[in-house]
Amino acid sequence: EDPTAVALELDCRGMVCPAPVIELARHVGDVAPGEVVAVVATDAAARVDVPAWCRMRGHHYVGADDLGDGAVRLRVRRA
């Protein structure tokens, strides 16, 4: 099994802070502990907000992938 596999991807393109993090908070419970949720966002603040949310909530920030279209995919492993 691929430990970096994304179990759930949230398309938050066009949403502005703090909406992508609110979506992440609403849906992180939809995956099992240890699984990865990805947030795809065009709001630059998400690059800061998602890792900060992970630190506050105890989840593991896996990393970001630039999608090349102005969006970034931020990956979070559920604690």
Query: CA–CA separation, 58 vs 63, rounded Å?
Result: 15
Q: Mean pLDDT by 10-residue block, N- to C-terminus, for the chain (79 residues)?
A: 85 97 98 97 97 98 95 97
Query: CA–CA separation, 67 vs 62, rounded Å?
Result: 16
Q: Which residues are catalytic?
A: 17
pTM, entire model: 0.94
pLDDT (tens digit, 9 = 90+) per residue, 15-25? 999 999 999 99
Q: Give ∠ CA 18-26-73 in degrees, rounded to 5.
A: 60
**CATH 3.30.470.10 fits domain 6-62:** no
